């Protein structure tokens, strides 16, 4: 027989009632084992053992709480779920294998054939494809509308509408939705209001406080913050999350224990990282507005942004993603991107390293020309996810792009 060390030492749970999101990011969700570890433990196991056949039957039958199989019960994953739920102010979270798996799990759990979704046009390109191509195969129809046009939202709602889905701020044009107004519209029509909070995270924005029913995250982005792992999470009331969890248990789009542990570590520094991202992004956006080769900058932190005041009401910061249109077209955008020598050319965002991409041929490349045009994804649009490097160094690197546009024969293309 084996015995746990320190088995007679009792450590009370942390009392986190009323604590700020900064503290919850570090402390929430952790349950110490008999080893009394200070850091979060990782449980890289596929299954769990029982003291008897009767206990196994009780676990599988739902009569006794506890771990069963890591596809749907793993202590490390549950710690991550508990922490992000606390940070968002939600009752429960369900972690998934990716951000897209989080959206799919939500749709499969809550929608059925004949249902209708109203979705904003300014969403991640793959989200658009998921609704238009794959959910349509199961008889779920989707209408796409302008994120900020409340009349268009109201006109799109039908008796069979069961979900309103948005990103705010949007990808990549940084439009900001009036969440309270859309929540009222959804609830008046017996629909759930789903908000992708990837760009802001709970540090800058808590959609449940503005009427959202469900929050979606690609944990791959800011929640990790260092581009290490892929994952997603859904947050909301227990009643709805029970349905999402049921789909995950059966279909298996599961987060691995290792990835959950990495995300737990990422959450610990999320508040200080988000503030650094915001500080750099604001300064860079102001600098970009002054460049002669730039037609328009899209960032809610700018007073020129049409939803700047709304963003100030809903958000405690403006995030680290911005985009801008260059004078010219695809060739000018590509030349600008290729001239950089420090910033990473990649479509991922939310990393401490600044990244740059051409949305029309990467993140939104699978959209039809008509859908790109409707979403404002033009060929001269460049998106930057601003990292936490020295902002003057970022300006220096981007200046190479502007120089390449002035001297196209320099071999930067």
Position of tokens 């404002």? 376
Q: What are 150-176's pLDDT values in tens digits?
A: 999 999 999 999 999 999 999 999 999
Spatial distance between the Cα atoms of 217 and 234, rounded to a whole number of angstroms: 7
What pLDDT, on a 0 to 100 scale, did the predictor assign at position 331? 97
pLDDT recorded at residue 6 = 44
List strands edge to edge, sheet with 294-298. 294-298, 321-326, 381-385, 355-357, 344-345
pLDDT at 53 over 90: yes
Give the tens place of pLDDT for each residue, 246-294: 999 999 999 999 999 999 999 999 999 999 999 999 999 999 999 999 9
pLDDT one-digit tens code per residue, 169-205: 999 999 999 999 999 999 999 999 999 999 999 999 9
How much is the pLDDT for 35?
83
Q: Are strands 232-236 and 92-96 parallel, antiparallel or unpaired?
A: antiparallel
13 band by pLDDT with thresholds 50, 70 and 90: low
Compute how many other C-beta atoms are within 10 angstroms of the C-beta atom of residue 143. 16
Question: Which residue, chain included where needed, has tokens 């947050």?
Answer: 235
Q: How confident is the model at residue 101 (pLDDT cuts 50, 70, 90)?
A: very high
**Domains of the chain listed by start with CATH number:** 21-268 (3.40.640.10), 271-410 (3.90.1150.10)
> What's the rounded Cα separation, in Å, for the pair 290 and 284?
10
Question: What local confidence, expressed as pLDDT, does residue 409 receive?
Answer: 64
Tracing tokens 């809550």 back to the chain, one arrives at 110
Mean per-residue pLDDT of the chain: 94
Mean pLDDT for the stretch of residues 390-405? 98
């Amino acid at each position: 027989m084996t015995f746990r060390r320190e088995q007679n030492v009792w450590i009370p749970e942390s009392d986190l009632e009323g604590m700020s999101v900064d503290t919850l990011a570090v402390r929430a969700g952790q349950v110490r084992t008999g080893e009394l570890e200070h850091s979060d433990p990782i449980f890289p196991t596929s299954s769990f053992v029982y003291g008897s056949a009767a206990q196994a039957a009780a676990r599988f039958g739902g009569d006794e709480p506890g771990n069963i199989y890591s596809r749907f019960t793993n202590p490390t994953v549950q710690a991550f779920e508990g922490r992000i739920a606390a940070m968002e102010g939600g009752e429960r979270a369900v972690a998934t294998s990716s951000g897209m798996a989080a959206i799919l799990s939500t749709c499969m759990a809550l929608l059925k054939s004949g249902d209708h979704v109203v979705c904003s046009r300014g969403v991640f390109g793959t989200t658009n494809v998921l609704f238009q191509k794959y959910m349509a195969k199961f008889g779920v129809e989707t209408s796409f509308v302008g994120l900020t046009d409340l009349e268009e939202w109201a006109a799109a709602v039908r008796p069979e509408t069961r979900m309103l889905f948005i990103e705010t701020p949007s990808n990549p044009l940084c439009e900001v939705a009036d969440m309270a107004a859309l929540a009222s519209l959804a609830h008046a029509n017996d629909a759930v209001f789903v908000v992708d909070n990837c760009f802001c995270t709970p540090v800058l924005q808590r959609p449940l406080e503005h009427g959202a029913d469900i929050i979606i995250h690609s944990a791959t982005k800011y929640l990790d913050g260092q581009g290490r792992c892929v994952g997603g999470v859904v947050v909301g009331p227990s009643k709805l999350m029970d349905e999402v969890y049921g789909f995950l248990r059966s279909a298996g789009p599961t987060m691995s224990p290792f990835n959950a542990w990495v995300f737990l570590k990422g959450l610990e520094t999320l508040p200080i990282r988000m503030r650094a991202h915001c500080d750099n992004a604001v300064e860079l956006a102001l600098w970009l507005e002054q460049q002669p080769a730039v037609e328009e900058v899209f960032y809610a932190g700018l007073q020129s942004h049409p939803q700047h005041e709304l963003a100030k009401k809903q958000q405690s910061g403006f995030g680290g993603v911005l985009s801008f249109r260059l004078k010219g077209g695809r060739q000018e955008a590509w030349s600008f991107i290729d001239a950089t020598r420090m910033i990473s050319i990649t479509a991922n965002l939310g990393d401490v390293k600044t990244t740059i991409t051409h949305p029309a041929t990467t993140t939104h490349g699978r959209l039809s020309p008509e859908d790109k045009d409707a979403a404002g994804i033009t060929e001269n649009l460049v998106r930057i996810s601003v990292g936490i490097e020295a902002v003057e160094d970022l300006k220096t690197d981007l200046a190479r792009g502007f120089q390449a546009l002035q001297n196209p024969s320099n071999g930067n293309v």
